[in-house]
Chains A and B, each alone.
Chain A
Amino acid sequence: MSDRKTLQTEQISGHPGPVPGMGMQRDLEVCKLIDTTTCIGCKACEVACVEWNDLPFQPTTFDNTYQTMPETNWNYWNLIKFREHVRDDGTLMWLMRKDQCMHCADPGCLAACPADGAIVKYANGIVDFQQENCIGCEFCISGCPFNIPKFNPATKKVYKCTLCSDRVGQGLEPACIKACPTGCLHFGTKEDMKLLAERRAKQLRDVSGFKDAGVYDPESVGGTHVIYVLHDAQNPELYAGLPKDPSIPFAYKAWKSIFKPLGLIAATLGFVGVVFHYVFEGPKREQPEVPPRRPEPPAGRREA
């Protein structure tokens, strides 16, 4: 989609009137909407992700749950997390949340990454890892508030969901969206998905009796390009620890927004200082060698 925008005509020579199509194209910021209230935990999205991205299998072990594995992995980017939750009125809910990269508008992984070009954010909102530039330092893992990027010890690179940037670039929806049989997954522009999510949350509040239903699109990371509809938006932690206020660790924010500029300013000032010193003081001159002064004999002795 970013490609299409680059090739959009902005000016035409000798053309009367405005450029055709200018201002018509919408701002194509993409978004995935996950309605946790209609997810049935079938894992079709997990399979579609593994298939499309050609991810290698790994053995799993049964761990007292329907969940495929405890966390996403370098070769497993999309995982439904299952939680049995007893509500205050004693009724049971089996919560299922599709866990994957949230594609934050203010990505913690990108803030933390020191390697040039290893993490890029496209104009359409997708945050993508470029493994050929990855140095395997794993800073992105600690920078992510959602515990998503995972390290492959064999290749010494970090991997995560790409929001199927290859498919989206060709105007297709991500593989998980295509596989969903209940329609709990939607894909479109951020604007449209926000509207759809809010409408669904309102429906849940008004008709289905979920008074706290709402949309999860955390402001603390500038909003995300994967948003959820939750039965209980007041307690996102219930959905396998979805953070209420996800945040990028201060050290990483400070590193690039404070310490790095400060360091650069300090370095520049240092250089400027050197230049001014040269201008006003001139070059360093060679000092004549001064022999050490002898101590003068005490006055009384001379007289004596």
Chain B
Amino acid sequence: MQRRGTDDPSGLGVYPNWGWSWPMNRRVMYNRASCDVSGKPWDASRKQVWWNEAAGKWVGNDVPDFKPDSNPKDHMGPFIMNPEGVGRLFVPLGAVADGPFPEHYEPFESPVPNPLHPNQSTNPIVKKFKTAMDKYGTPADGFNIVCTTYRLTEHYHYWTKNNPMNVQLVPEPFVEIPEELAREKGINGGDKVKVTSARAEYVAKAMVTKRIKAMKIDGKTTYQIGIPIHWGYRGIAEDEGKTAKDLANELSPSVIDPNAHTPEFKGFLVKLEKA
């Protein structure tokens, strides 16, 4: 907690003096795998760790996740927690529903097609419901803003909207909007905004912030907005008619991951306008 260093000497986003990551303040697990057999980084422009022959040990921008004095000639495998020393890419016996190989899929609603294989952009075996509410938006339909949902330290789930203390701390729902996007749409902090997904609409006040930055995805500027979920249905502010009774999760898609059954509430597409 006391480690607040914002320096990043390697320029790779390692930030070795910010906080502490278990174990041994190591930022990337199995980082020996970023080197070839002789201990030289595969990508010279993104060096994590490497073998220093003169010093006889592993050094680098990160803390080596490896026996520090193990010469590459000894052929110790980088995946030190597996007896065979190499990664396990294959998950046998159907233990993973969408296995046996690891794969990257885009969220069901994504601003870009999957760069690995655009023809199968999303997971083919996600669970979906087949009601009239289960509609999905695409950037071509104008849903070109990424939306995420999250919680605040001041509230607990949907319970504390009935507790005056918590309501005093954060009284109303809001939508966090990056400064650049707000400027583009003519939105000022505190204005009511309408967020529309393929499924529902959500109206709340705008919080214009520098904390969410625009992203460059596939060469295009893409914005992300964020909605804390704690309001809706009944609560102190809702009963007094101060805020809408809508739930943020009416916006999000009921797309269920086939292994952990986690719904895809953290990444979907919306439109944003002044209400």
Flag A176-188 by CB within 8 Å of B: 1 or 0 each. 0000001110000
Question: B interface, how many residues as a size bin?
Answer: 20 to 34
Is A38 positioned at the interface, with any CB of B under 8 Å from its CB?
Answer: yes
- Docked CA distance A8–B76 (Å): 70
Pick the interface stretch among B28-36, B129-137, B208-216, B264-272.
B208-216
Chain A binding site: helix, strand, loop or mixed by DSSP? loop
Which one of B165, B189, B211 lies within 8 Å of A94 (CB-CB)? B211
| B6 A91 Cβ-Cβ under 8 A | yes
Q: Give 5 nearest A-B pairs by CB, closest first.
A: A64-B189, A208-B5, A62-B172, A209-B7, A42-B153
Interface residues as binary, B167-185 with A (CB distance below 8 Å gives 1, 0 otherwise): 0111110100000000000
Tell me which residues across on chain B come within 8 A of A208, comparing CB atoms: 3-7, 17
The answer to whether the Cβ of A43 comes within 8 Å of any Cβ in the partner chain is yes
* B174 partner, pick from A50, A60, A62, A209, beta carbons under 8 A: A62
Interfacial chain A residues near B206, Cβ < 8 Å: 64
Nearest CB to that of A44 among chain B residues? B153
Q: Residues of B at under 8 Å CB distance from A?
A: 1-7, 17, 153-154, 164-165, 168-172, 174, 189-190, 205-211
Residues in chain A near residue B169, CB distance under 8 A: 43, 46-47, 60, 68
One of A62, A68, A184, A209 near B6 (C-beta < 8 A): A209
Number of A-B contacts (CB under 8 A): 79
> Would you call A61 and B210 a contact (CB within 8 A)?
no
Interface string of A265-280 (1 = CB under 8 A from B): 0000000000000000
* Interface residue range, chain A: 35 or more
A43: which B residues are within 8 A, CB to CB? 153-154, 169
Task: Give chain A interface residues in 71-95, CB to chain B under 8 Å.
Answer: 84, 86, 91-92, 94
- How far apart are A203's CB and chain B's nearest CB, in angstroms? 7
Residues from chain A with a CB closer than 8 A to the CB of B7 are 208-209
Q: In the complex, which residues of chain B have a beta carbon less than 8 angstroms from the beta carbon of A148?
A: none
Of residues 175 through 220 on chain A, the ones whose CB sits less than 8 Å from some CB of chain B are: 182-184, 200, 203-204, 207-210
What are the residues of chain A within 8 A of B3 when measuring CB–CB? 207-208
Least CB distance, A89 to chain B, in whole angstroms: 9
Closest chain A CB from B153 CB (angstroms): 5
Digitize A28-46: 1 where CB-to-B-CB distance is under 8 Å, 0 elsewhere: 0000000001101111001
Q: Is A57 an interface residue (CB 8 A)?
A: yes
Point out which of A51, A60, A66, A200 has the most chain B C-beta atoms below 10 A from its C-beta.
A66
30 chain-A/chain-B pairs, Cβ below 8 angstroms: A38-B2, A38-B4, A42-B153, A43-B154, A46-B169, A51-B165, A57-B164, A59-B168, A60-B169, A60-B171, A61-B171, A61-B172, A62-B170, A62-B171, A62-B174, A63-B190, A64-B190, A68-B168, A84-B210, A86-B210, A91-B6, A92-B210, A94-B211, A203-B2, A204-B4, A207-B3, A207-B17, A208-B4, A208-B5, A209-B7
